[in-house]
Structure 1
Amino acid sequence: MSLDTRRTEPWLERLTAHEARQRLEHERGTRLTQLRAIDETGQAATEPLLSAQKDTIKRVLKEIEAAFTRLQDGSYGICQRCSTAIPVERLEILPYTRHCVPCQREAA
């Protein structure tokens, strides 16, 4: 592997597609468990706090599914805004992220 490859795609060295898929599956399972727990409380889903929680979980699930798509098309781990590699440490914490930290700050 050349030095240039290491600089442009460091996540390939430490986070394989299999590892990324495992992390995404874990995140998806966690969010689905959270949704079931909210549903099992028996409280009305129209209650503002529960409704907001469900909406947030559903949004994250969509982001996770989009990350699976990026994994399949080879763009996983690449910032969608600046096209640089997202640091592995960020992907380990937030495996479904679409942006590097500087771009995420600008978007917020």
Structure 2
Amino acid sequence: MSLDTTRAEPHPHEARQRLEHARRSRLAQLEALKETGQTADDHLLSEQRTAMERALKEIEEAFARVEDGTYGTCLGCAKPIPAERLEILPYTRFCVACQRRAT
């Protein structure tokens, strides 16, 4: 099934639940990185930490979109982001097509 199929807009409560789960997961991953005992000079550890911090920032931005009513709308084309994509990546800002163009 294509990730660009369109279903009903996400319910704000469901969106918040998915975002909370994503935030808890990233925070746990960051904590696990701290507990590895590796030095701050470790390049891979630094890259992983940066990726987790970036994801947490995107999650916080998604919470703001839920609050202002724009959650689930692609920032590239202004069309609804398919519910299936939001289930997989609840903090995404783009539909698949716009994400491909952005990268």
The amino acid across from 1:73 in the alignment is: D
Pick the structure with greater CA Rg: 1
Instruction: Pick the structure with more helix per residue.
Output: 1
Residue of structure 1 equivalent to 2:102: 107
What root-mean-square deviation, in Å, do the aligned CA atoms of Structure 1 and Structure 2 show?
A: 1.1
What stretches of structure 2 of length at least 5 have no aligned partner?
A: 1-5
Measure the CA separation in 2 of the matches of 1:10 and 1:66. Answer: 23
Structure-to-structure mapping, 1:1-108, within 5 angstroms = 10-12=7-9, 15-108=10-103
After TM superposition, the runs of 4+ consecutive aligned structure 1 residues lying more than 6 A away are none
Identity among equivalent pairs (%)? 58
Measure the CA separation in 2 of the matches of 1:86 and 1:29. Answer: 23
For normalisation by structure 1, the TM-score amounts to: 0.87
For normalisation by structure 2, the TM-score amounts to: 0.91
TM-fit CA distance, 1:106:
0.5
Structure with the greater relative contact order (CA < 8 A, sep ≥ 6): 1 or 2?
2
Residue-pair matches, total? 98
